[in-house]
Structure 1
Amino acid sequence: MNWSVEDRNRRMQSLFYLLGVAVFFIGFLRFMPFLLFIGLFFIVLGYTSEKYMLYLTRHLMLINKKTDTRLSIGENGELTLMFTNTSRLPFFSIQGELEIDAIAEFRESTHEHPQSCTFTFSIPAGKTISITCPITAISRGTARIRSFQLTCEDPLHICRVLLRPNELIRNRLIIYPKPLPVANVSQLRPRHPGFDPAAHALFHDDTAPSGTRDYLTSDPFRYIHWKASARSGRLQTKVFEKVAHLSWCFVFLTDPGNTANRTTDDFEKRISATAYMTKFSCQNQISYSIYCNNKPMGKKIITELEEGHGTAQLRKAWEFLAFMQKWQIKAPVDQSMRAIDQVLSRPQTLFIMDWDRLSENSPYLLKWLNFGHVVFFLHIEGDALFFSTVPASGGEMSV
């Protein structure tokens, strides 16, 4: 990385030049070789210190690779910077100072503001060193190094320069949301036929028997297991593998002109509830996707996380939630719903995590219900979070 020299402190260097010239001139007038040598020595020191600092700015490099530090709220971690010395001379007395966004704090900061940190290091010739700054995650979001500077001095502290990077430092801090439990999530049942095993599904696979049980009068006659019945001496019915289409979809639809009606705490709770739901989905092998109307760059109306499952999907989902900010909501709700409707190709379970002005966009809701989607709405009452569902016949009932 190239540096921009913001400031050069040459007071001490100027003093060495002035003193050297004065002593050299006195020695020249009085024919004193010793004073000539001393004056010339001061002049050379001042000149050498300046060349040393110029040499340092050319050979001291910050390895500016894209590095992400991932933490959860309240978790401790480290922000790492790597410097390399490409010269044959060691560099001493380098002091760094950096500042990050307010979602994290430096644990060992001596500044008035805990988002600022200073460190001092020296680097041998031809070596690479790592500087670690201990941090603590405070709130959900992403943070970058907003300001960074190095104050460098020569070994004799004659000359000093202030260096700032010419490009954005690519180190990034990602703080995941804190999951908040949602009531009765375990009672939600898959309501669409499919091929994924499900312990509480309403459907089963006729081609995948998993055992037998005693025959009931309500059991179809074709499900009787004749060999098992002959062995046990009483009628046995086949038990089949329960299957369903396990796919959840989490939707955020916030009206750009209605953001003042929801507090930041309310939005954070909805983010935390989604984090809990995605974690629950990961533990139960349920695939899911996320849609939000914070318009990304380009022609897309919505920001989306494509359907997936497992720990890799959970990591993507929490990063997706970490980047979501209410001030980024720009896409109109009706356009966003139209875009979401185009990608919902099969019936799914939809969780509306945030939706402003619901009544104005009910036609899309009715379309989703008629298509076969099961729609749940997240409600917040104090510290309690729970879902309610809208049946296709209309009205609203609690889960």
Structure 2
Amino acid sequence: MVKVMWALLLLPIVLLVLYFAQRLLFRRLWDENLTVQISFDRDYIFCGEEANLVETIVNNKYLPLPVLEVGFDMSRWVVFQDEENSTVSDMTYRRDVFTTSVRQRITRTLPVRGKKRGYYRIASTTVTSYDFLMTEKQVAHFPQETEFYVLPAHISASHIRIPYSKIMGLLVSRRRVYDDPFEFAGIRDYRRSDPMKYINWKASARGGTLLVNQHDSTLS
């Protein structure tokens, strides 16, 4: 009878010691040898295409983590197919919950779709964990270097109407505005109003009279 009474008296003390011991152990070791990585399986996609966002959790220690929440912000123009754990406003906040045992590696793949072209980046991940009795919360931030490009969508050549009937470049103009010195049109007799630079001296020497070069006008 005495032993039973002593056992009943010691039980709360033992439980209290265990409670504070697990809190201290969890507080000091929960994020040790813990790795959280966010990446895409492709460097880029075209607008409207799909890719996979990969969450990799590595708990490389002998302390299990009963609850591990992984959250991060990403542009709302990269849309998750599974929006159950996503909150969308100006940005998309994603929160996934994991349970890791001793020395375990977890990989989760989330399909995403690019809605708008641009450069997108995930700079940080917020990781939240709880002790075994769910009485204390611990938070840590894991930096990320996740980059992703969404390129403009493909356009079929049949949708691009190029005016092949019109020539792009210089065209000979019927309306003479400015003579183009590179468009030679012929030779004519010299007039008093012609500039001296237009005189064709070789043709003038052969013909015995002043002759000038005639040029066409061009428009771009």
Go from structure 1 to structure 2 and tell me whether the alpha carbon gap of 1:108 and 1:61 turns closer, same or farther (over 3 Å shift): same
Aligned residue pair count: 165
Identity of matched residues, %: 14
Alpha-carbon distance in 1 for matches of 2:167, 2:31: 62
CA contact (8 A) 1:50 1:159 kept: no
1:122 aligned partner: 99
Bigger RCO of structures 1 and 2 (CA < 8 A, at least 6 apart):
2
CA contact (8 A) 1:140 1:176 kept: yes
1:395 aligned partner: 219
Alpha-carbon distance in 1 for matches of 2:57, 2:160: 46
Alpha-carbon distance in 2 for matches of 1:125, 1:163: 20
2:154 aligned partner: 179
State which structure, 1 or 2, has the greater radius of gyration over its C-alpha atoms: 2
CA contact (8 A) 1:97 1:150 kept: yes
Q: 1:201-237 CA deviation, whole Å, 9 max, x = no partner?
A: xxxxxxxxxxxxxxxxxxxxxxxxxxxxxxxxxxxxx
1:96 aligned partner: 70
CA contact (8 A) 1:143 1:172 kept: yes
Alpha-carbon distance in 2 for matches of 1:138, 1:388: 37
Alpha-carbon distance in 1 for matches of 2:67, 2:106: 14
TM-score by length of 1: 0.37
SS of residue in 1 equivalent to 2:83: coil
1:64 CA displacement: 6.8
1:147 CA displacement: 4.6
Alpha-carbon distance in 2 for matches of 1:152, 1:98: 15
Alpha-carbon distance in 2 for matches of 1:33, 1:97: 45
Show structure 2 runs of 5+ residues with no match: 172-179, 181-217
Q: 1:254-293 CA deviation, whole Å, 9 max, x = no partner?
A: xxxxxxxxxxxxxxxxxxxxxxxxxxxxxxxxxxxxxxxx
Alpha-carbon distance in 2 for matches of 1:61, 1:135: 23
Alpha-carbon distance in 1 for matches of 2:162, 2:59: 58
1:60 aligned partner: 34
SS of residue in 1 equivalent to 2:88: coil
1:72 CA displacement: 2.0
Go from structure 1 to structure 2 and tell me whether the alpha carbon gap of 1:103 and 1:388 turns closer, same or farther (over 3 Å shift): farther
1:63 CA displacement: 4.3
2:83 aligned partner: 109
SS of residue in 2 equivalent to 1:47: helix
TM-score by length of 2: 0.62
Show structure 1 runs of 5+ residues with no match: 1-30, 188-386
Q: 1:169-218 CA deviation, whole Å, 9 max, x = no partner?
A: 12222111113443239x6xxxxxxxxxxxxxxxxxxxxxxxxxxxxxxx
Matched, 1:135 2:112: yes
